[in-house]
Amino acid sequence: MISKKLAIEVLNVSLSTGADYAEIFYEDSHTNNVSLENGKVETSSSNSLNGVGLRLLKENQCIYGYTNDLTKKGLLALANSLNKSFNGKQIVFVDHLDKVKAKERSKIKTDYDTVPLEEKIALLKDADNEILKLNDPRIVRRICSLNCWHRGVAVFNSKSKWFKRDNQWATYGVAVIATDGKGFEQGFARRGCQDDLTFFRQGDADIVKNANKAAKTALAMLSAPECPAGKMPVVIGNGWGGVLFHESCGPPLEASAVAKGLSFYKPEQVGTQIASKIVSAVDDSTIPYGWGSIDIDDEGNPGEKRVLIKNGILKEFMVDDFNGRRMNAKGNGACRRQNYRYIPTSRMSNTYICAGKSTREEIIKATKLGLYAVAFGGGQVDPSTGEFNFGCSEAYIIRDGKVCEMVKGATLIGKGFEILKNIDMVANDLDLAEGFCGAASGRVYTSVGQPTIRVKECTVGGRGGELK
Amino acid sequence: MGKYDKFFASAKEAGIKEIELYIGEAHEVEVELFHGEIANYSDNNGMTVVARGIFSNGKCGAASCDTWNKEKAKYLIDEIVKNAKVIENEDPVFIFKGSDKYHKINTYNKALDEVPMETKIAKMKELEKAIKAEDKRVSEVGATFFSQSNSKHTLVNSNGLNLVQKSNYYYYGAEVIASDNGQTKSGFEIFFENDFSKFDVKALAKKCAESATSQLGGISCAPIKCKAVLDHDAVISLLNVYIGHADAEQVQKKSSLFAGKIGEQIASKKLTIEDKPLSKNPFARWFDDEGVATYNKPIIEKGVLKTFLYNLTTAAKDGVTTTANAQGAGSKKSTGPFFLTVKPGKKSLHELFAEVGDGVYITGVTGLHSGMNPQSGDFSLQASGFEIKNGKKGKPFDLITASGNLLEVFKDVQEVGNDVKVSPNGTAAPSLIIKKIGVSGQ
């Protein structure tokens, strides 16, 4: 840790040539990853991350640098190197630092470091045994892994604010690879939390239950036909299905794209209809123990529940203070980064489409011929054009209002702003799922989510010819 | 006494029989220009220290950190011991003593450091202006980038190995948005080198502008299976996943599509794919991440699979010599090519179009992490491209998917172009004619 006294000195040296804002981001994190392959512990490794990122702003300019030399000499050398970008006089002075007070919604209960490695391995072994119990010779690889991360952060900035943040995250992954001698298929399950590891023994997050599901998906995929291609109605499942909104509409609603006019959504569209009237969506950093939750963002602003879209009307963007300068807007607690090596910017946290009034059953029943996309492997979007793509890891054909055969290799492509207008049914079964989002400020923890929804028409890519 | 001898001695006291340190040190400068002004400037000094050691139980534990001091040295040793104690994998592990001979290659260009930062930034401003001047339909240059990285990596171990390689490179790039008739398209291009004199502002500006403007006025595409020219960018994307199947570990774990196929014709006779770590370019690596001397080798020669890619562990399991393709740090090394190349043919891109007659020209594929099943090789990817009509490049397509299977695509190579492009991920490939590929769009 660095003392407040040293932080004040570093901030003043950073500001001495005319920067209008300076900020020290101190990080001390450590991780432990353990993985099993076919029941045996294959790797176990530990990582420690300890450094400082220093950010100087002057109007619309950002100067950034990081160092692992955390001595007074090292930090002042960094400040003196970065302040050379400006040649004016000091206009902002720091003489004290006040602690930012925020609600602690995800307070650490049991430090993952105090959980014996053997206990973490036992969790994975239970999942592996469940797959083994299926006793199916087509399963050739079983990979189970657990990643635990403890992150300590302290931020000191020239607005005389300082705060500490202490969080921990854990995530497991189960991958099952099956072969029929001709090709391979994979089933995959992942869950994550900021809560105790016992979370992975319960309900929908139960590792054993999900390992069984992943194995069965891999096996079913072996005999599944290829997904047909073309335009069709697509019903998107709850939870993971939220990756559609995350990929297609999330990045264009972040100030990092909006501020420079690089998003297809413009600030002047706030208050206008951008989605179907039955669509409301939020980005909420305040969910207790939520995967993407933070109490205070990297600029010292408290985490918020940001209403992005209400009844189809664009309400607000996810904004950080720096990009907010170009938009005449204040940061709303969305500023994050992967670690001290990244320049922070506005990012999603827990982003989801709100529950509607239909039921899942009603939506399926109302669909004559189309695709039911249940789970996804991820995707990407170009915020300037809205073009997105994402691959389905579990999908079925709907015929005459019934879920029929499983298909493999389905990809959904389209333009986010068109999809939002094309949502014609929203169910009441909202669920969230934990993932990662990669962008300019690195890979951050984000939840996606939605209830079951239907998109009237979407382009589906696949190798199975026309849908009949 | 060596710099790390004390650390090695402490490790031995803790029961670690052999230990290795991988130390990466990098100085990176990144500049982003927006509307003629510097929007972001970052100047970073970073370090990565990865230690792995064979504990008295014969298992290999690993730990890493980003600072080198007494406290961290102790952390590394404690964590190696803790981790090694739980490992159950029975694969042989090695801390390498060193190869007899290394073919050293210089990957550090001192002249690049001598070019003043002002000159480097001035070129960015020129680039931004040149892109705007290139085409009226360029509506915005989102960001213009310059990045330079100087790095040094050291591999040192308690068996006497001590290898150091220094390298540097830079790149320029820009994100471009083009608009016309209410349609918006974006593009991105970069130039990567370690010789500053090779940077041509105009040439890059033209490519950047075209990457966006060429997609305007797109037409729809009904689902078809047809002959295609796969542009070098698309080839590079697919090739990296394809060659992943040459990883001996995947073969040994029964999840490679290349398993049992050494000596077999797995691809078109027109196709030769090599790993050339001893090329004279910024990608050159004269020792791999286990410290073994690297060498150039064909992976697929005239369509025949010649070798898998090995590290010391997977080679020992197969009773062969390592191909010196160990990559990464940590208790287990993965394998991969250092400079993957497709041997070029003689025909130009225009001659490839002429040979196809009517078909599609795929200029890029995206979404590999979601639309590619790396296990089966099946893919259905968002793509950009053009129609090929009467032997010439025609209109662009608006939002299409390209689908196929990797094994089939590389079996179906009809012709290899001469238009080699080197990508910053260390892959060089020309455009290819593929006999059949699935395309579908709106």
What pLDDT digit, counting tens, does each position of B386-440 carry?
Answer: 999 999 999 999 878 898 999 999 999 999 999 999 998 899 999 999 999 988 8
Q: CB distance B41–A46 less than 8 Å?
A: no
Q: Looking at residue A379, what is its pLDDT?
A: 73
For A45, the closest of B88, B331, B399 (CB atoms) is B331
B223 to A229: CB separation less than 8 angstroms, yes or no: yes
d(C-alpha A111, C-alpha A148), whole Å: 10
H or E stretch covering A11? helix A4-15
In 3-state terms, what secondary structure has residue B120?
A: helix
Express each pLDDT in A136-189 by its tens digit: 999 999 999 999 999 999 999 999 999 999 999 999 999 999 999 888 888 999
| CB pair distance less than 8 Å for A50 and B255 | no
Partner-chain residue, chosen from B46, B88, B399, that has the shortest CB–CB distance to A40: B88
- C-alpha dihedral sign at B196, B198, B199, B200: positive
Q: Say whether A50 and B254 touch across the interface (CB within 8 A).
A: no
Q: Which of B215, B370, B408 to mutate to test the interface with A (most CBs of A within 10 A)?
A: B370
Q: What is the pTM of this model?
A: 0.91
Size of interface A-B (CB pairs under 8 A): 237
Catalogue the E-assigned strands of B35-182.
37-55, 60-65, 138-157, 162-180
Please give the class, per CATH, of domain A4-223: alpha beta
- List residues bridging with A390 in a β-sheet: A379, A412
Which residues are B386's β-sheet partners?
Answer: B361, B396
Residue B379 has a pLDDT of 87
| CATH topology (fold) of B110-154+161-213 | PmbA/TldD fold (3.30.2290)
Residue type (1 letter), B413: V
Interface touch A40/B366, C-beta < 8 Å: no
Instruction: Find the CB nearest A61 among B37, B86, B253.
Output: B37
CA of A101, closest CA in chain B: separation in Å? 30
Q: Which residues of B touch A409 (CB under 8 A)?
A: 373, 378-380, 403
- Comparing CA positions, the residue from A298, A305, A259 lying closest to residue A283 is A305
| Interface touch B142/A461, C-beta < 8 Å | no
Contact B373 A463 (CB under 8 A): no
Which residues of chain A have a CB within 8 Å of the CB of B184?
264, 384-385
**pLDDT score at A384:** 76
Interface-testing mutation among B22, B42, B75, B78, with chain A (most A C-beta atoms within 10 A): B42
Q: Do A62 and B41 touch (CB under 8 A)?
A: yes
Whether B318 and B311 have beta carbons less than 8 Å apart is answered as no
Domain spans of chain B? 110-154+161-213, 224-239+344-441
Kindly determine whether residue A459 and residue B442, on different chains, have CB atoms separated by under 8 Å: yes
Indicate the Cα dihedral angle A40, A41, A42, A48, nearest 10°: 170
Does the structure show a pLDDT above 70 at A295? yes
Beta carbons of A48 and B75 less than 8 Å apart: yes
Please list, in sequence order, all residues whose beta carbon lies within 8 angstroms of the beta carbon of residue B41, skipping any fewer than 6 positions away.
Answer: A61, A62, A63, A64, A85, B29, B30, B31, B32
A384·B367 Cβ contact <8 A: no
- State which residue of chain A sits closest to B73, comparing Cα positions: A48
Instruction: Fill in the DSSP letter of residue A225.
Output: P
Task: Give B-chain residues touching A50 at CB under 8 angstroms.
Answer: 65-67
The domain spans of chain A are 4-223, 230-461
Q: How far is B278 from chain A (nearest CA, A)?
A: 31
Which positions in chain A touch B369 (Cβ < 8 Å)? Answer: 377-378, 380, 391
User: What is the pLDDT tens value at each position of chain B, 442 positions in all?
Assistant: 578 999 999 999 999 999 999 999 999 999 999 999 999 999 998 999 999 999 999 999 999 999 999 999 999 999 999 999 999 999 999 999 999 999 999 999 999 999 999 999 999 999 999 999 999 999 999 889 999 999 999 999 999 999 999 999 999 999 999 999 888 888 999 999 999 999 999 999 999 999 999 999 888 888 788 999 999 999 999 999 999 999 999 999 888 999 999 999 999 999 999 999 999 888 999 999 999 999 999 999 999 999 999 999 999 999 999 999 999 887 788 999 999 999 999 999 999 999 999 999 999 898 787 778 887 888 888 888 999 999 999 999 987 889 899 999 999 999 999 999 999 889 999 999 999 998 887 5
